[in-house]
Amino acid sequence: MAEIINVKDLDLTLTKTQILKNINVSFQEGKIHGLIGRNGSGKTMLMKCICGFIKPTSGEITVDGKRVGKDVDFPQDMGIIIETPGFIPYYSGYKNLKLLAGLNNKIGKEEIRKSMQQVGLDPDLKRHVRKYSLGMRQRLGLAQAIMEDPKILILDEPFNGLDKEGVAEMREYLISFRERGKTILICSHSSEDISVLCETVHEMDKGVIERIS
């Protein structure tokens, strides 16, 4: 399989602290890949660099054949959840997604509704997002990530706030996403989530990829 994400000689230093050190890693297309490690190990920062949110100090990142920060500022065809998803608190979930969809203008009402239904949310629910539980916010974040049917999903702790049933539902959906040829990079503190879902596992510590399995 082709490598859809390639990270070469990546270093990141912020306020004189080295966050990522000589990262060399690639992720094959059509698989679920896991990142594990303690808090502060560099997982989220690596994801932010891949997404174009943070510019590395040195090295290069290529996503789907295009170099991030040179060919494109942000990778195209990518759905993202990094840290707690942020939404306008006094809008409904559907209205938030409609607003975000308008930025790219690639999808319409039906795709937005379908993405919400796929993650177990009612698109007709009028409740404001400020009254959502943490689990509902996570589901809305995933709906936002998948609504444009991206080729790649970057998910940082996507199961936070979900109950046992919700976790099982999300796992099933991510597996079905991969079965359609999509690529998923997932970070989770739960070793069970990683072992159930991921075909490759990359263990990080102190800004370095220590082991790949």
pLDDT tens column, 50-108 = 999 999 999 999 999 999 999 999 998 999 998 777 899 999 999 999 999 998 899 99
Distance CA 127, CA 92 (A): 6
115: Cβ contacts below 8 Å, ≥ 6 apart: 97, 143, 144, 146, 147
In the chain, how long is the greatest CA-to-CA distance? 49
Q: What is the pLDDT of residues 144-202, one digit of tens each?
A: 999 999 999 999 988 887 888 888 888 998 999 999 999 999 998 788 888 889 999 99
Q: Say whether domain 1-77+151-213 belongs to CATH 3.40.50.300.
A: yes
pTM, two decimals, is 0.92
Q: Which residues pair with 71 in a beta bridge?
A: none
Phi and psi at residue 93, to the nearest 5°: -60, -45
| Domain locations along the chain | 1-77+151-213, 87-149
